[in-house]
Amino acid sequence: MFELIRSNKRRSIALIAGFVVVLCLVGAAVGLLLGYGWQGTVIALVISGVMAFVSYWKSDAVALSVSRAVPADPVQYQRLHNLVEGLCIASGLPKPRVYIVNDPAPNAFATGRDPKHAAIAVTTGLLEKMNRVELEGVVAHELSHIRNYDILVSTLAVTLVGAVALLTNFAVRAMWWNGGRVRREGDRDGGVNPIAIVGIVFLVVSPLLAKAMQAAVSRKRETLADISACQMTRYPPGLISALEKLQADTTVTHAASTATAHMWIEQPMSGVGDHGKMGMWNRMFDTHPPLEERIALLREL
């Protein structure tokens, strides 16, 4: 278990580095394609670096704001606070900030840059549909993400994937409206610079690359968090029952977005069960392993 956690931290560092590299490359491509030369590229790289740095410090606030999460009142949600506090004491974790998302779909997520600066958010639907042991299993799952340092890379992915999408969208729109300004960098006979062609191809591919990296963020981490949660509660049936309820529930989590989908305990967006002609492509970008696989694995414990 502890070796898996250490391996998880190493993969987290590699994924964060990958996200930053993709963001910087997108910034460089934007500078070149808009015809501002290397000076514009340097400026775009600086802007990308600032966005990556700000993402580290403020990505949790962005994730909570995007999900419309509000602080959980200690009196109104005393049961939830007691569960979080009890599990934190048992696992030696500092108590994270506790948030509520007003959404009928049962779901939850954790965010933050480290265990000392973490937050856990649950939907009102989760509180309504889970009994105490099931809710304990879900909370333990999210606390496991905090203990395993999954929250840093998953939270950074929210802003970095969004930044890649914004930069590429801006570049494509700018090239469309400036009448092909990039041709200034081309040959005198009207040809297009090969670097520009590479840049355009990269801008088209980079959002897909960012989405694939986002999917890679959580697939194995969800399984590890499930096992860690059972170790924390010493009661696998609680989490198994919670996952079975999530599997049976078809409500779409409206508070979720494509940028935050990988953070939730269950794939929150619609289309998860697609098995048509496009089913293979949909599953390629799934941010979670199938619930039936996670349940089967926990039954073997």
Residues 5 and 221 sit within 8 Å (Cβ to Cβ): no
Secondary structure of 102-122 in HEC code, one letter for each residue = CCCCCCEEEEECCHHHEEEEE
The answer to whether residue 276 scores a pLDDT higher than 60 is: no
Q: What is the DSSP letter of 269?
A: S
Residue 185 exposure: Cα atoms within 13 Å on the Cβ side: 17
How many angstroms separate the CA atoms of 230 and 218, rounded?
Answer: 18
pLDDT-based confidence at residue 113 (cuts at 50, 70, 90): confident
Name the band, by pLDDT with cuts 50, 70 and 90, for residue 183.
very low
Q: State the number of CA atoms in the 13 A half-sphere of 282 facing the CB.
A: 13
More confident site: 150 or 160: 150
Would you please indicate which residues are annotated as catalytic (active-site) residues? 142
Pick the residue with more confidence: 154 or 67?
67
Whether residue 191 has pLDDT greater than 80: no
Confidence band, pLDDT 50/70/90 cuts, at residue 32: low
Q: What is the mean pLDDT of residues 251-274?
A: 74
Structure-token pair, residue 46: 């600086």
pLDDT recorded at residue 139: 97
3-class state of residue 178 by DSSP: coil
pLDDT for res 294: 93
The secondary structure of 7-44 as a DSSP string is HHHHHHHHHHHHHHHHHHHHHHHHHHHTT-HHHHHHHH
If you search the block for the tokens 């309504």, which residue do you land on? 128
- Please enumerate in sequence order all residues whose Cβ is within 8 A of that of 174, keeping only pairs 6 or more positions apart, or say none: 34
Q: What is the pLDDT of residues 47-78, one digit of tens each?
A: 766 766 776 777 788 889 989 999 999 999 99
**Is the Cβ–Cβ distance between 229 and 83 less than 8 Å?**
no
Distance between CA atoms of residues 164 and 45, nearest Å: 12
pLDDT value at residue 272: 46
What's the pLDDT at 184? 47
